[in-house]
Amino acid sequence: MSPGEDVLFWVLAPLMVLVSFGLLVARKAVHVAICMVFVMIGFAVLYIALEAPFLGVVQIVVYTGAVMMLFLFVLMLVGVDASSSLVETIRGQRWIGVILALGLGVILSGVVVQTVFPPAVGLAEANSVTNPVGLARVLMSDYVLAMEVVGIVLITAAVSALVLTHKRRLTPARGQKEIADAKVAALPQGGRLTPLAAPGVYAQNNAMDTPALDPQGRPIAESVSRVLRIRGQQREATDVLLGEHGLVERTSTVAEPEGSAPDEEER
Amino acid sequence: MELTHYVVLSCILFSVGAATVLLRRNAIIVFMGVELMLNATNLAFVTFGRMHGDLSGQVIAFFVMVVAAAEVVVGLAIIIAIFRARRSVSVDDVDLLKS
């Protein structure tokens, strides 16, 4: 083990352990996913240091590239802000869990530290034909059957994912005509025929979060995107209008000195 | 050439993953804890492979990766199916068989 590898390990390993604690404490699932990506890239670097460059590359491609992106997609489907409740349903579960995990870590590490391993052989000889070729020779000679089975597992997993997420259509499809008919039918109950109004356009502010004004000058709440309203991120129209009035006053005060400029010259 | 500290690192990360599975309530985070445990065992496999000068450890780690990828696909599909039915990803809300 070269000193360079030592330095790499002792820089990377504490960082990985530290970041992995993010899995335990981070409130939002997205932050957990980011912590996980960091730890997995750390694993890839360690694989390359352990004379397994092929596995290092596969780790980045499969885990950080595919698996974590799949996780992020599911988080997006489920809703990024779906944070878990912190109420304990089983009494004392937190402490029991912490104690069990600590005990597991201490026992495993203790056993490993106390064991005397034979001096490491290293993979220089096995990797003499380059690591991927060496791997392929082992894979295709000793593990052919396992590889075939893994292929079946992969196909089964792909098909099962399709079957599990497939949603059967229970109602007839709603086309343009059906939507129009439903809108007309809803008119007596206070429905609307026209599309929703666009968000407000003001002199100083035309962002998505400000409501438009109707002909009477009242703000239209529906003109702000539904998501912003649920999150409580819309802005009140009165604030914007007050800002506008302030703008009018300021421009009039700026305009005045220009009007009175000849007077000043006369003085 | 001492490689013990790699195995110790894998033990620590394995226990962190186990703690995540035990403590977190969000099914997706629990799943990431399982992934961390799988990765930790992979690190141990690769380290032991290097210790014994044998490439079999790397081949097994490769198989673990492939099976983990398949497992993630099925697991996330199940989580989405549950989310559609119950509007929740908390592992506490999946208690239909309890009552």
Q: Choosing among B6, B8, B23, B65, which should be mutated to test the A contact, i.e. which has the most A CBs within 10 A?
A: B23
In-domain check, residue A178: no
Domains in chain A, number: 3
- Token output for A13: 């390993």
Angle at A132 between CA B65 and CA A58, to 5 degrees: 30
Instruction: Give CA–CA dist B27/B33, Å, rounded.
Output: 10
Query: Domains in chain B, please, with CATH?
Result: 4-86 (1.10.287.3510)
**Which of B14, B22, B28 lies nearest to residue A97, judging by beta carbons?**
B22
Could you list the residue range(s) of the whole structural domain that residue A150 is in?
131-163
pLDDT-based confidence at residue A1 (cuts at 50, 70, 90): low
**pLDDT single digits (tens) A137-154:** 999 999 999 999 999 999
| Integer CA distances (angstroms), A188 to A19, A185, A191, A192, A203, in order | 58, 7, 7, 9, 37
Q: What is the DSSP letter of B98?
A: T
- Token output for A89: 């349903």
Task: Return the pLDDT at A257.
Answer: 53
Q: What is the DSSP string of A15-79?
A: HHHHHHTHHHH-SSHHHHHHHHHHHHHHHHHHHHHTT-HHHHHHIIIIIIIIIHHHHHHHHHHH-
**pLDDT single digits (tens) A8-57:** 999 999 999 999 999 999 888 889 999 999 999 999 999 999 999 999 99
Domain holding A19: CATH number? Answer: 1.20.120.1200
- In this structure, what are the phi and psi dihedrals at residue B30, rounded to the nearest 5 degrees? -60, -40
Entry field: residues in chain B: 99
- Token output for A66: 């595919």
Q: A159 with A219, same domain?
A: no
In-domain check, residue A186: no
Q: Choosing among B55, B56, B91, which should be mutated to test the A contact, i.e. which has the most A CBs within 10 A?
A: B55
Q: A77 with A1, same domain?
A: yes
* Distance from the first to the final alpha carbon of chain A: 90
CB contact under 8 A, A120 and B2: yes
Q: A203 with A149, same domain?
A: no
